[in-house]
């Protein structure tokens, strides 16, 4: 006969509680506790761009999804939930996302280099890698959020607005680029 409590997994319960709490928290409280100041500045500027391009409701939804995705992946990583194959995928994703960030910086800083087809392809590769990484850890709802965020950033008309040389997003992109560089310098991207 098994002892009372046999089979209890406190680590698994703790992880479930963290994920459940994440679902109940507002985007601002999540950001306040889990996201550093530099990342927060990038997200704030991205919010303003999306709000300008679309509307406040869509921008809030996008940021909520994005923050939840980042925090969930962080929770999984910190709790050693990824197997060796997934850790290799996480490393590949990080490298690809770093490359994507460098591309965004280059497109912003060097006139006439913006290439929507290349950018869209890079964003799609990141989406696929992230989906592979979270495949066995996430619900269909979370996977749908990932698709929503990445497909939204793949919108060619949004990309055209973002990278317009004298466009209305120029100052916001300058903030994003400055903070992306800072994140890279700090080893956080």
Residue 171 belongs to domain spanning? 33-186
Asked if the model's pLDDT at residue 2 lies above 80, the reply is: no
Single out the residue of 127, 132, 133, 189 nearest to residue 154, CA to CA: 127
Asked if the model's pLDDT at residue 32 lies above 90, the reply is: no
What is residue 4's predicted lDDT score, i.e. its pLDDT? 46
Asked if the model's pLDDT at residue 82 lies above 80, the reply is: yes
Residue 16 located in a structural domain: no
What is residue 17's predicted lDDT score, i.e. its pLDDT? 64
Residue 11 located in a structural domain: no
Average the pLDDT over 168-175 and give the result.
91
Asked if the model's pLDDT at residue 134 lies above 80, the reply is: yes
Asked if the model's pLDDT at residue 79 lies above 50, the reply is: yes
Average the pLDDT over 149-155 and give the result.
92
Cα angle vertex 14, ends 29, 147, to 5°?
Answer: 60
What is residue 12's predicted lDDT score, i.e. its pLDDT? 63
Residue 13 located in a structural domain: no
10 or 123, higher pLDDT: 123
Total length of the chain: 189
For residue 175, the domain's CATH number is 1.20.1440.160
Residue 3 located in a structural domain: no
* Separation CA 159–CA 181 (nearest Å): 20
Single out the residue of 153, 157, 162 nearest to residue 107, CA to CA: 162
Residue 88 located in a structural domain: yes
Q: What is the count of structural domains for the chain?
A: 1
Q: Provide the mean pLDDT of the chain.
A: 85
Q: Give the predicted TM-score (pTM) of the model.
A: 0.80
Single out the residue of 42, 59, 67, 53 nearest to residue 180, CA to CA: 42
3-state SS, one letter per residue, for the chain: CCCCCCCCCHHHHHHHHHHHHHHHCCHHHHHHHHCCHHHHHHHHHHHHHHHHHCCHHHHHHHHHHHHHHHHHHHHHHHCCCCCHHHHHHHHHHHHHHHHHHHHHHHHHHCCCCCCHHHHHHHHHHHHHHHHHHHCCCCCHHHHHHHHHHHHHHCCHHHHHHHCCCCCCCHHHHHHHHHHHHHHHHCCCC
Asked if the model's pLDDT at residue 1 lies above 50, the reply is: no
Q: How many CB atoms lie within 10 A of CB 130?
A: 23
Residue 57 located in a structural domain: yes
Asked if the model's pLDDT at residue 163 lies above 50, the reply is: yes
Reported as a pLDDT band with limits 50, 70 and 90, residue 3 is very low
pLDDT digits (tens, 9 = 90+) for 84-116: 999 999 999 999 999 999 999 999 999 889 999
Residue 47 located in a structural domain: yes
Asked if the model's pLDDT at residue 78 lies above 90, the reply is: no
Residue 153 located in a structural domain: yes
* Separation CA 68–CA 26 (nearest Å): 10
């Amino acid at each position: 006969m098994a002892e009372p409590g046999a089979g209890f997994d406190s680590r698994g319960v703790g992880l479930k509680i963290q994920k459940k709490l994440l679902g109940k928290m507002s985007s601002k409280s999540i950001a306040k506790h889990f996201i550093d100041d530099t990342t927060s500045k990038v997200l704030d500027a991205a919010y303003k761009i999306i709000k300008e391009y679309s509307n406040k409701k869509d921008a809030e939804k996008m940021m909520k999804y994005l923050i939840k995705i980042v925090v969930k992946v962080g929770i999984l990583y910190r709790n050693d939930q990824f197997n060796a194959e997934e850790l290799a995928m996480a490393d590949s994703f990080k490298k690809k996302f770093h490359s994507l960030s460098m591309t965004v910086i280059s497109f912003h800083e060097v006139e006439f280099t913006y290439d929507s087809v290349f950018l869209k392809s890079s964003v799609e590769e990141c989406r696929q890698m992230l989906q592979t990484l979270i495949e066995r850890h996430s619900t269909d709802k979370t996977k749908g959020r990932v698709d929503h965020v990445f497909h939204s950033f793949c919108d060619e008309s949004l990309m055209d607005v973002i990278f317009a040389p004298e466009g209305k997003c120029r100052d916001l992109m300058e903030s994003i680029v400055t903070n992306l560089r800072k994140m890279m310098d700090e080893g956080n991207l």
